[in-house]
Copies of this chain bind each other. A is one copy, B any other.
């Protein structure tokens, strides 16, 4: 296995390049829909993903890459070193509000989280870390999170779930301090990492989760599927992410509805 310092240096180097590109030129020339009218991809998602994949392929020729826009290599298993790449997470925000989007790279070894990095482009903040090194924002160490109960914390439930299973999640929101919706998994993870909120439920693709979970596990953030099974990082799943107490109380509420 390649050592974590080499991984960290390379991931932060390529995300720094992405940051310079997106801050210098935050525009796009074309936008298309994917699975539905609100699932967007721009030429910038594609251009950035291609550059990140090319960089990682050069630096880590034996690693696999799973990436949002499909320019990785679609592995069937997670053996060895695997990079999960989301070039622009929150493409709708990138297109409509020009803020609250992120670039993310998560690095796993034999299916276990090793390292993650989330770049909040507009706020110019990079969050990174892993269980063996801790969590950081712009080189400042992030402390271990508190473990507050559900009624004391802000939570995020994805739009999709609110629309499809309202009665269940309505009850959950009512038991919390309030619902916040940002439209980018990466941005929500940055808020979880800083203890601004403590619970996040949604249907996630592997690249939505990989970076945030790798960083978060260092400071008390865990995740399971909504039926409390381990997450499968090859497929899309309904997942609950959060600190221990709020997560357990949320699962209790949801299972009783």
Residues of A within 8 A of B (CB): 37-38, 92-93, 96-99, 151-154, 159, 162-163, 166, 170, 173-174, 177-183, 191, 196-197
Contact = CB atoms under 8 A, between A and B. Distances in A.
Copies of the polypeptide in the assembly: 2
Given A92-B177, A96-B196, A162-B179, 16 more contacts: A38-B177, A92-B154, A96-B153, A96-B154, A96-B177, A96-B178, A96-B197, A97-B180, A97-B191, A97-B196, A97-B197, A159-B178, A159-B179, A162-B162, A166-B166, A166-B170
Contacts of A170: 162-163, 166
Contact of A196 (B37, B98, B154, B197): B98
Contacts of A196: 96-99
A43 to B, nearest CB: 19
A2 B206 CA distance: 60
Nearest to A191: B97
B181 A180 contact: yes
Contacts of A173: 159, 162-163
A178 B91 CA distance: 12
The 7 closest A-B pairs by CB, nearest first: A97-B196, A181-B181, A166-B166, A96-B154, A159-B179, A180-B181, A179-B181
A111 to B, nearest CB: 32
A174 B163 CA distance: 8
Contacts of A177: 38, 92, 96
Nearest to A182: B180
A92 to B, nearest CB: 6
A159 B176 CA distance: 12
Contacts of A163: 170, 173-174
Contacts of A153: 96
17 contacts: A38-B177, A92-B154, A92-B177, A96-B177, A96-B196, A97-B196, A97-B197, A98-B196, A154-B183, A159-B179, A162-B170, A162-B179, A163-B174, A178-B183, A180-B182, A180-B183, A181-B181
Contacts of A191: 97
A151 B98 CA distance: 18
A95 to B, nearest CB: 8
A197 B197 CA distance: 23
A166 B170 CA distance: 9
A174 B160 CA distance: 10
Nearest to A170: B163
Contacts of A97: 154, 180, 191, 196-197
